[in-house]
Amino acid sequence: MLNFFVRKGVRKILKRKDSDAGERGRALEDLRSTLFNEFRSADGAKRQQQQRCGPATALTFNFVIAVGIIFVNKLVLKVVGFQFPIFLTFIHYVVSWLLMAILNALSILPACPSKTTRLSTLFTLGFVMAFSTGLANVSLKYNSVGFYQMSKIAVTPSIVLAEFLLYNKRVSFSKVLALTVVSIGVAVATVTDLQFHLFGACIALAWIIPSAVNKILWSSLQQQENWTALALMWKTTPITLFFLVALIPWLDPPGALSFNWNFNNTLAILMSAILGFLLQWSGALALGATSAVTHVVLGQFKTCVILLGNYYLFSSNPGKTSISGAFTAIAGMSIYTYLNLELQSSKTSPRQAASLPKSKLSKENGNTHDGNYGLESV
């Protein structure tokens, strides 16, 4: 009998240990499954992107990469002598697609939203991406940097007008004044570097509308339909590649395949392509975290910083007029940023005061966002 109870007690202890081990194993498996679903689901991936990459981080990331790729592309176009801007853009997107394919094979690429976006919208985004990026590089080839920046000024009112027509999105009068100061400052800063080229001017004008639509779609799809930057890039890159191939015979000179593809030249182009992927990703993150107009203002800020940096660090003398224009533009950007921060702080208080059951009810009714997109200012 004693042996029986001993064996029975041992069996209970072993059973309890096995049960505890099983519970711990199930808990660990549930945790792994939760983390995996949190990343692989569109909503979870969107939350992760918002938590890890806020507006300040996204804009800083995009600014650093944008400045870096300017010098690398200058090396490729001037020193290496790769005079094929559309084909260079095509290489950028091919490398981007290959990197995202690797992430997808490793199950690291975020999932697409369960709510299906219309194919026509994704097709339009891929189309304008090809034209905005490709025509920008062609414009840089034929125009001076000053003329290129002057043409970028027209993107801001184009975005404001398009968002008003499409989403009834209004801009406050104070922000209009700030954006006007920014545009005037950039125009004055770059007026000393204006070189007119008829074909380049036509390319710059043709680039304005695709660039504005591209930024608006990137921002609205991420903010309204829970797309993440990488998932949207993965869906639209094949469409962009198709249109870039169609543009190459029209805008690139012949002889790309007969270029001297030695190790150093190929390495420089590959470095430009990797930075191109990071630029597209950081730009998408910035557009998802802020707005299309804010992203354009960041581009103008980059121009002013490069101009002032060349003046203070490399003793370049663009003239007092250009320097005054750069400081004027930066002052306008500071006012615009302050107005945005003030607007965000005023929106945060009512949202924090809202009750939890009300937010749950809105989610159950299918309202995944505020529904006031058309009433918000840029």
Q: Taking a C-beta distance cutoff of 8 angstroms, is the pair 346, 338 a contact? A: no
Q: Taking a C-beta distance cutoff of 8 angstroms, is the pair 88, 140 a contact? A: no
List Cβ neighbours of 107 (8 Å cut-off, separation of 6 or more).
40
Model pTM? 0.73
For 309, the token pair is 């940096």
Q: How confident is the model over 251-262, as pLDDT tens digits?
A: 888 888 889 999
Q: How confident is the model over 279-325, as pLDDT tens digits?
A: 999 999 988 888 888 888 887 887 787 777 766 655 666 677 888 88
- At 273 the pLDDT is 94
Q: Taking a C-beta distance cutoff of 8 angstroms, is the pair 193, 250 a contact? A: no
Chain-centroid distance of CA 104 in Å reads: 19
Instruction: Kindly state the average pLDDT of the residues 327-342.
Output: 83
For 87, the token pair is 């084909």
Q: Tokens 């697609």 sit at which residue?
A: 97
Give the three-state DSSP class for 170: strand
Tell whether the model's pLDDT for residue 19 goes beyond 80.
no
Q: Taking a C-beta distance cutoff of 8 angstroms, is the pair 201, 143 a contact? A: yes
Q: Taking a C-beta distance cutoff of 8 angstroms, is the pair 352, 147 a contact? A: no
- At 265 the pLDDT is 92
For 1, the token pair is 């009998």
Q: Taking a C-beta distance cutoff of 8 angstroms, is the pair 200, 155 a contact? A: no
- At 302 the pLDDT is 76
For 277, the token pair is 């992927």
Q: How confident is the model over 35-93, as pLDDT tens digits?
A: 445 545 666 676 777 667 778 888 889 988 988 887 788 788 778 889 898 999 999 99
